[in-house]
Amino acid sequence: MTLTSKARIRYVVGGLLIGGFWYLNRGRTPFEEALRTIATFAVLMVVMKARLKRKSVDLHLVPLLAAKAVLIAIAALVEEGLKHSIGNPALVVSIGLGLAVALLGPLGDHRFFTSKKSPTPSPARSPTPTPTTARSIR
C-alpha cells in the first residue's frame, strides 16, 4: 500500500504538532512533559477515531498510542540526558520528535489506519422475461 501525498502531509503536520506541543511545555520536567503529551494526544486520537469512523476508516488506537508513548518516552530520556550538555534541550528534542513522526509515521501507517471493507453487494439478477416483454422485444 502506497501513501498518497495527502497522507504524507498529514504526518508532517502531525510531527509539527507534537514537536510544537513538546516545546511549548519545555518549562516542565521531561517526564511530566511526556505524561502531558501522551494524555493530550490520547484524547486527540479518540476524537480522530470518532471522525474517521464516519469516513469508513478504522483507527487502531492501541498500536498508535503505544508507538507515540514509546516515542515520547525516548524523547524524555534524551532530553534528560541532554539537559547538562546543551542550553536548550527541549528545542533539540522537539525538532527530533517532529522529524521522527514525519519520517517514521508512514512506515507504520498500515498498522494504524485501515479501510473498512464495505459489504459487497450480491450480483444483480437480470429479470426473467415475462410473456409481455418477450412479445415486445420481437
pLDDT 10s per residue in the chain (138 long)?
Answer: 456 777 788 888 888 988 998 898 888 888 888 888 888 888 888 888 787 777 777 777 888 888 888 888 999 999 999 988 998 899 999 999 999 988 888 777 777 777 766 555 555 555 555 555 555 555
Strand-pairing partners, residue 114, are 58
According to the model, what pLDDT value does residue 63 have?
84
According to the model, what pLDDT value does residue 96 have?
93
Of 99, 107, 115, 105, whose CA–CA distance to 10 is shortest? 105
According to the model, what pLDDT value does residue 97 have?
92
Which cell is 118 given?
A: 464495505
DSSP 14-56: HHHHHHHHHHHTTTS-HHHHHHHHHHHHHHHHHHHHHHHHTTT
According to the model, what pLDDT value does residue 95 have?
94
pTM beyond 0.85: the answer is no
In whole angstroms, what is the distance from residue 41 CA to residue 47 CA?
Answer: 10
3-state helix, strand, coil in the chain (%, to 5): 70, 5, 25
